[in-house]
Amino acid sequence: MQKGKKDKGKEKKQLQLRGIPAAPGITIGKVYIVGVEDLLPPERNITEQEVPSEISRFKKVLESTRKEIINIEKKISKEMGVEQGKIFSAHLLVLDDPVLSEEVVTRIRKKKKNIETIFAEVLNKYVSVLSEARDEYLRDRISDITDVGKRILRNLIGGDTRGIEGLIDRSIVIAYDLAPSDTAMMHKGSVLGFATDIGGRTSHTAIMAKSLEIPAVVGLENITDIVMPGDTVILDGFHGIVIVNPTKRFIDQYEKEKKKHEHLEKQLIDLKFLPSETLDKRKIILAGNIELPEDVASVISHGAEGVGLYRTEYFFMNRKDLPTEEEQFNAYRSVAARIKPHPVTIRTLDVGGDKFLSQLDVPKDMNPFLGWRAIRFCLARPDVFKTQLKAILRASAFGKLRLMYPMISGIEEFRKANVVLEEAKSELRKKNIEFDKDMPVGAMIEVPSAALTSDALAKEADFFSIGTNDLIQYSLAVDRVNEKIAYLYEPTHPAVLNLIRMTINNGHKENIPVGLCGEVSGDIALAIILIGMGLDEFSSSPIAVPELKKVIRSVSFLDAQKVTEEALKMTTGTEILNYAKAKLMEMVPDIALMN
Ligand code: PEP
Ligand code: MG
């Protein structure tokens, strides 16, 4: 389609889509659709013999586009009402217009050019004629025609070749799915936000978006079918809403909302230098989660006291080989040195699940989250594991490091991992290489069996860190990245809260500190309940730290304990969530109103 003739005439109709909020923030911009080329068809001459096959290609694409539109119409009508669905009924009328397709067929016979070129020509002609029309109804049809035209052109051109690396202008990325390795390549400078068809709130893609401070909405189911190149969208990462082709009124409203949030955030940042303690002076550590050494800046700027989870596997992504001991040592040392005197809790490689590394031959299991993942992989590949452990040990001489193993399912696995750690230590000793011989070694509690046997584990581990992202998926049997069952992913489910409480109590019986580093720690609604359970450390994405500090400083441990007690008497996740929200509103109204 020729530039400048696109979208002439009336504004396109606004459409509101609802998904799962993945990373907070509001952003407005043009879309960049991953996997879809710009709709400027390459012009090509064809022979007389090729004419029938070009026409038949056109007819086939008309048919597949027709099915695509019917499906979208059904879905939108069901979810958003018949009125919204009508937008797509109008598109069907355009598609079925015999005048348009006959003109395309006549022209292709006459001009002998490829179908994409001819179709774009005819489309442009229609748009020009209609934009001159006196009749308002006819002018209104321009946006329908351009939308259907783009859809047909997109299907004619095909070829899912465009990746995230092609992004140049600042845009909102739209994709069916993004792997954590894709997200790791995004830059705040060029990616204003992103929205995907699939995915859940605690998918690693969503977690990465929070670290990068890029607003994101996932699990929109069919946004890639709905948006077209050139569209503008509003993305509201607080509420999981995407508005396609918003009216000026909506844009103004969201601009205002965005400013309000920025203002409140600035106020909260002022708490940075105040201690993280309850009204009755119970100290609670507020740490930040990081994926890459660069994320340390955000930990510091948001006033977190250390790193409570360093997901080291991101250092292994987007490269063909494995990082050497030296490379890993340099990365870990830089994090340890910059965070000093605060501690850095470094987690050993957690590959598998939704995180794949091209250089490691980890087969895509049928149930990747239940398969060859994390500590299971590391114990089977002591070469990879020991290299990492040596790098961590060496880095421990340059700051305050704590080591933890992911996906521990019981005490035997913890002991086996420690055997490899001892080997790594003795190899370093032989070479007279320094390390912190008292570096604490902890277990992540993210498998229900570990929570249920946390009494035994607490006798051997130096600390616990509760990984609720996995603990919830494993205890409720809900895949954390599947948007279809996201409604069952309930952090306030009594089963989950009881496992958390059990872990904290068992840890405290053995005098070891217990932290929580899953996304639940940044879920402000749950903060009071967790404080009341006696959690020693919250480690969340750094952007959540200021709000958490405000909550901690606004409540007393005694009152929080009462809230926890009441909550645990309830029998459903919904009841507990509503109660927790009401208590937040009562005890910390400023924060409740922001969320
Ligand atoms: C968790 O499972 O809660 C966790 C922190 O680990 P990850 O999200 O990396 O699986
Ligand atoms: Mg986990």
Q: pLDDT digits over 22-37, tens only?
A: 999 999 999 988 865 4
Q: Assess whether pLDDT exceeds 70 at residue 178.
A: yes
- Partners of 218 in the beta sheet? 20
Confidence tier at 564 by pLDDT (50, 70, 90): very high
Cα 536 to middle of ligand 1, angstroms: 18
**Could you tell me which residues come within 8 angstroms of residue 521 by beta carbon, excluding any fewer than 6 positions away?**
468, 530, 538, 539, 540, 544, 548
Question: What pLDDT is attached to residue 158?
Answer: 64
- Which atom of ligand 1 approaches the CA of 518 most closely? 3
**Could you tell me which residues come within 8 angstroms of residue 431 by beta carbon, excluding any fewer than 6 positions away?**
none
Confidence tier at 173 by pLDDT (50, 70, 90): very high
Query: How does 126-164 read in b/e, with b if 16+ C-beta sit within 10 Å?
Result: bbeebeeeeeeeebbbbbbbbbbbbbbbbebbeeeebeb
Q: Is 500 in the pocket of ligand 1 (CB under 6 A)?
A: no
Active-site annotation, residues: 204, 517
Cα 468 to middle of ligand 1, angstroms: 7
Q: Is 518 in the pocket of ligand 1 (CB under 6 A)?
A: yes
How far apart, in whole angstroms, are the C-alpha atoms of residue 104 and residue 98? 10
Question: What pLDDT is attached to residue 11?
Answer: 60
Question: What pLDDT is attached to residue 161?
Answer: 47
Question: What pLDDT is attached to residue 334?
Answer: 97
How far apart, in whole angstroms, are the C-alpha atoms of residue 389 and residue 403? 9
Confidence tier at 166 by pLDDT (50, 70, 90): low
Stretch 386-398: mean pLDDT: 98
- Partners of 502 in the beta sheet? none
Q: Is 446 in the pocket of ligand 1 (CB under 6 A)?
A: yes
Q: Is 467 in the pocket of ligand 1 (CB under 6 A)?
A: yes
Alpha helices of 478-523 — where are they, by DSSP H? Answer: 494-509
> Mutation test of ligand 1: which of 444, 479, 526, 541 has the most ligand atoms closer than 8 Å to its C-beta?
444
Please give the C-alpha separations between residue 511 and each of 27, 265, 508, 514, in angstroms, as whole numbers: 46, 36, 5, 9
- Which atom of ligand 1 approaches the CA of 466 most closely? 3
Residue positions counted in the chain: 595
**Could you tell me which residues come within 8 angstroms of residue 327 by beta carbon, excluding any fewer than 6 positions away?**
315
Q: Assess whether pLDDT exceeds 50 at residue 1.
A: no
Q: What average pLDDT is seen over the chain?
A: 89
Kindly state the tokens that stand for 491.
Answer: 């952090």
- Residue whose CA lies nearest to ligand 1 atom number 3: 467
- Partners of 347 in the beta sheet? 311, 404
Question: What pLDDT is attached to residue 35?
Answer: 64
Q: pLDDT digits over 306-353, tens only?
A: 999 999 999 998 788 899 999 999 999 999 999 999 999 999 999 888
Q: Is 480 in the pocket of ligand 1 (CB under 6 A)?
A: no
The three-class DSSP label of residue 355 is strand
Q: Assess whether pLDDT exceeds 80 at residue 448.
A: yes
How does DSSP assign 249-289, residue by residue? HHHHHHHHHHHHHHHHHHHHHGGGGS--B-TT--B-EEEEE
Domains of the chain listed by start with CATH number? 15-36+164-262 (3.50.30.10), 48-157 (1.10.274.10), 277-565 (3.20.20.60)
Q: pLDDT digits over 526-541, tens only?
A: 999 999 999 999 999 9
Q: How far is CA 316 from the centre of its chain?
A: 19
- Which atom of ligand 1 approaches the CA of 374 most closely? 10
Q: Are 537 and 515 in contact (CB under 8 A)?
A: yes
Kindly state the tokens that stand for 373.
Answer: 């993942």
Stretch 107-127: mean pLDDT: 88
Stretch 280-294: mean pLDDT: 96
What percentage of residues in the chain have a pLDDT greater than 70? 93
Q: Assess whether pLDDT exceeds 80 at residue 520.
A: yes
Q: Is 424 in the pocket of ligand 1 (CB under 6 A)?
A: no
Residues with CB under 5 A from ligand 2 (ion): 446, 467, 470
Q: Assess whether pLDDT exceeds 80 at residue 460.
A: yes
Question: What pLDDT is attached to residue 72?
Answer: 77
Q: 46: alpha, beta or left, given left = phi > 0 and alpha = psi -120 to 50?
A: beta
Nearest ligand, measured from the Cα of 520:
1
